[in-house]
Amino acid sequence: MKFTLRLILSLGLIVGAVALVFAYHQARQEEDRLNAELKVRVNVIAESLRMLIEPPLTAGNTDFLKHVVDKFSGRGKLEWLDIRDLNDHPVIASPRLPQGLTIAPDLLSKNIQEVRDTSAGYGRFVHRGRRLLYVYSLPLKANSKISDIMSFFYDADFIQVRVHKLWMESFLRSLVQVFLITIVTFFIILLNVMIPLRKITEWIREIRKGEPATKLDAANEPLFKPLTTEISRMARNLEMARFAAAEEARLRYSSEARWTPERLKEVVRRKLEGSPLFVVSNREPYMHIRTAKDKIECIIPASGLVTALEPVLNACGGTWIAQGSGDADRETVDKNDRIRMPPEEPKYTLRRVWITKELNDGFYSGLSNEGLWPLCHIAHTRPQFRPKDWEDYKAVNEAFAQTVLQETEGIPNPYILIQDYHFALLPRMVKAKKPHAKVAIFWHIPWPNPESFGICPWYKDILKGMLASDLVGFHTQFHCNNFIESVDRFLESRIDYEHFTVNREGHTTWVKPFPISIGSNPAGPPSSLGHSPEGNRNKDALLKPYNIQARWMGVGVDRLDYTKGILERFRAIENLMESEEELRGKFTFVELGAPSRTMIPQYKDFVDELVREAARINDRFKVKGWQPILLLMKHHSHREIEPFYKAADVCLVTSLHDGMNLVAKEFVWARDDEQGVLILSQFTGAARELKDALIVNPYDIAQTSKAVKEAVFMSQDEQAERMSRMRRTIRDNNIYRWAGELVSQMTQVRPGEGQKV
């Protein structure tokens, strides 16, 4: 309160002082203006009277002179007239001319002297007692010679009165301004500073005491938004740290070995012995784009790989090397193409690599997604292999290799974790220049059987590139088996099936399964920062914008990719509507589809077919206020997806072939109410872990349709039992365990040899 009082008083004094300075300046300007006007008026009157007086003065007509002087004296502000000869002897004067002029002749002496010296008129302001007079004198001529001097005494008191009045008005106006500004300032500070600050203080006190914090209303105040944003993050971190500590203590007491961010950080610190971790992927975790308002926005691209790896780098730090793909990416990096991430709380370095569009078309759209992707997924889409695409693929791998070598310069034994099928050649390129580097490559998609893999014209180069790494990781043992069999079929090597190692040209590569998971912290507290789960689970609120009402809701979250089984999913919904009339008008399936690789013809054709199929099924069954399928095609953020997870009665993950599929795990982890049912394709890696899902063959439309019906009518108790077990599986086998085990395995090979210790 003392600070507020000092602020208001200081502001009042400053405003008052400024107002008085401006009032003084205004008064001076007004005084100068009135003085100038008076001088002009007197000069005009004087010139007019001189023309009238000079003839009778020359003729000696004193009677006429006296008549003129009497007539003009006392008119308006002209008080007196006085005519004197050059020797300062009175000739004629106003009858009311004060005796003081003769008693104090100095009132005219200066004027007369100036007129004598210059032969021109001269005026000045003089004080007579409390009165202000303007005395103006000019020469009178007789026979072309100066004979006399005429003086005018003009009343100038009105100028002082006007200036004084102006001063008083300005003073009163200043007082009113100071008062109003003080009152307004007080209420502005009270409403916009003191009250929000008091709320923030109370909120921080609740957080500090570990009490459930209420929603922070002051977060909407523009003045405190940056502060409340940072405080909210700090409070959330404090909550997470407090819960992590409590969970760690509980785990020690119960002798459980659960993976947390803190445990991963400690494992990485001990295993890597201070060496930084380098992650390489094609997709970057954050991209900067220019919005319609020509502002730069930082967004998270749709990617399961990003979803999995971002928590790892947040936990243990390091450097993430990825291709810059945002149209404003170059504007946000430093001179070394680096930027710290995440934006709100930097924990690791993102190094961006620039690839030309021509190269990227062959590398990404060509070989990676028209060749290797359909080859590995065996989803009945013919892979395309073009020699130019292969050359572009090698060139991009070489560009990333140069970047990795730059980033690891000066580090004797760096740990490099390469991600996915985009960089099959990268391990060999890095090892050729840095043989003591510890290199692992994790293949996020399935690995086909040798017969299928042999379709690729460059299968030997791909296998040699991958086997240069010390560790090759897959989601499942089945994919490891296929990889080992492919090596055995196509390359001369020694394979140890007991330990799953490949020894080739004196280098040993370990092939291991590491089922990837999601980054939800098992020690995380329930949200206390103002979110409402009940609101998120409201199906009506989610479907109302689309004029749909439904008792039950299903959800699917996918990239619009032909391997995800979305067409088969839609046809299963059609079959459900055909066979179960009681679900018509009551069940709606929502597909949240993110457009992907639309520059590739197969993907564009697939999306067109998907839209046509959804429209056909809807036209067949829809009625007013309801339709069976709602297809929402755009990039949805996690914040937009989560309410659908929480509200859905069933989530369909029906991939035709998938490495893991993290949507299944995200749905399960979002259901903290332990309700809802997961329908999961048997061809996903997740099906090997989430055994309490309803497992289906996505090609069997009738089986999937029956599973949806079973999920809709499943009892809440059975839902809770299944969901509880699946959530326990995800909690125990989370992303921190995946990263910890992978890093631990990397550190168990001797530098340069690849031999297990």
pLDDT tens for 502-525 read 999 999 999 999 999 987 654 444
List the structure tokens of 62: 């004193």
Q: What is the pLDDT of residues 179-195, one digit of tens each?
A: 888 788 777 777 777 77
**In this structure, are strands 650-653 and 552-559 parallel, antiparallel, or unpaired?**
parallel
Helix (H, G, I), strand (E, B), or coil: what is residue 190?
Answer: helix
Residue 443 has pLDDT above 50, yes or no: yes
- Which of 120, 62, 116 minimizes the C-alpha distance to 90? 62
Q: Please report the DSSP string for 194-214 in residue order.
A: IHHHHHHHHHHHHHHHTPPPP
In the chain, what's the furthest Cα-to-Cα distance? 147
Q: What number of other Cβ atoms are within 10 A of residue 256's Cβ?
A: 10
At 724, which amino acid appears? S
Looking at CATH, the fold of the domain delimited by 2-161 is given as: Beta-Lactamase (3.30.450)
Extents of the domains making up the chain: 2-161, 275-355+396-513, 533-733
CATH 3.40.50.150, domain 533-733, yes or no: no
Q: Decide: 753 and 507 in contact? Cβ < 8 Å.
A: yes
Residue 598 has pLDDT above 70, yes or no: yes
Give the H or E element holding residue 279: strand 277-280
Residue 5 has pLDDT above 80, yes or no: no
Q: For residue 397, report the phi and psi dihedrals to the nearest 5 degrees.
A: -60, -40
Q: What is the pLDDT of residues 649-703, one digit of tens each?
A: 999 999 999 999 999 999 999 999 999 999 999 999 999 999 999 999 999 999 9
Residue with tokens 């297990």: 756
Kindly list the distances between the CA atom of residue 68 and the CA atoms of 48, 55, 59, in Å, as whole numbers in the listed order.
12, 12, 15
Q: What number of other Cβ atoms are within 10 A of residue 55's Cβ?
A: 11
pLDDT-based confidence at residue 341 (cuts at 50, 70, 90) = very high
Q: What number of other Cβ atoms are within 10 A of residue 274's Cβ?
A: 6
Q: Decide: 395 and 359 in contact? Cβ < 8 Å.
A: yes
For the entire predicted model, the pTM comes to 0.69
Average pLDDT over residues 564-575: 97
Q: What is the pLDDT of residues 469-494, one digit of tens each?
A: 999 999 999 999 999 999 999 999 99
Average pLDDT over residues 567-586: 96
| pLDDT in the model for residue 263 | 84
| pLDDT in the model for residue 741 | 92
| pLDDT in the model for residue 243 | 59
| pLDDT in the model for residue 250 | 53
Residue with tokens 């090759």: 472
Residues 6+ apart with CB under 8 A from 621: 574, 577, 584, 627, 628
User: Using the 8-state DSSP alphabet, how is residue 410 labeled?
Assistant: T
The CATH superfamily of 275-355+396-513 is Glycogen Phosphorylase B; (3.40.50.2000)
List the structure tokens of 200: 């923030």
| pLDDT in the model for residue 309 | 85
Fold match flag (275-355+396-513 vs 533-733): yes
| pLDDT in the model for residue 577 | 97
Helix axes 662-670, 716-732, angle to 10 degrees: 120
Q: Decide: 486 and 511 in contact? Cβ < 8 Å.
A: no
Question: What CA–CA distance (Å, rounded) separates 572 from 570?
Answer: 5
pLDDT-based confidence at residue 32 (cuts at 50, 70, 90) = confident
| pLDDT in the model for residue 421 | 97
- Angle at alpha carbon of residue 619, lines to 551 and 536, rounded to 5°: 30
**Sign of the Cα pseudo-torsion (497, 499, 503, 506, in order):** negative
Looking at per-residue pLDDT, the higher value among 210 and 338 belongs to 338
Q: Please report the DSSP string for 653-665 in residue order.
A: E--SS-S--HHHH
Average pLDDT over residues 550-564: 95
Instruction: Name the least confident of 151-165, 200-214, 626-640.
Output: 200-214
| pLDDT in the model for residue 536 | 40
Q: Decide: 478 and 445 in contact? Cβ < 8 Å.
A: no
| pLDDT in the model for residue 533 | 43
Question: What CA–CA distance (Å, rounded) separates 367 from 383?
Answer: 9
Q: What number of other Cβ atoms are within 10 A of residue 104's Cβ?
A: 13
Residue with tokens 């400024």: 18
Residue with tokens 């008026």: 41
Tell me the Ramachandran region of residue 565: left when phi exceeds 0, alpha when psi lies from -120 to 50, beta otherwise.
Answer: left
Q: What number of other Cβ atoms are within 10 A of residue 34's Cβ?
A: 16
Kindly list the distances between the CA atom of residue 377 and the CA atoms of 349, 382, 444, 453, 656, in Å, as whole numbers in the listed order.
33, 11, 11, 11, 8
Residue 384 has pLDDT above 80, yes or no: yes
Measured in whole angstroms, the distance separating CA 16 from the mean position of its chain's CA atoms is 42
- Which of 111, 167, 99, 103 minimizes the C-alpha distance to 139? 111
Report the share of the chain in percent with pLDDT over 90: 51
User: Using the 8-state DSSP alphabet, how is residue 61 labeled?
Assistant: -
Looking at per-residue pLDDT, the higher value among 364 and 225 belongs to 364
Q: Decide: 371 and 384 in contact? Cβ < 8 Å.
A: yes
Q: Decide: 472 and 501 in contact? Cβ < 8 Å.
A: no
Give the H or E element holding residue 593: strand 587-594
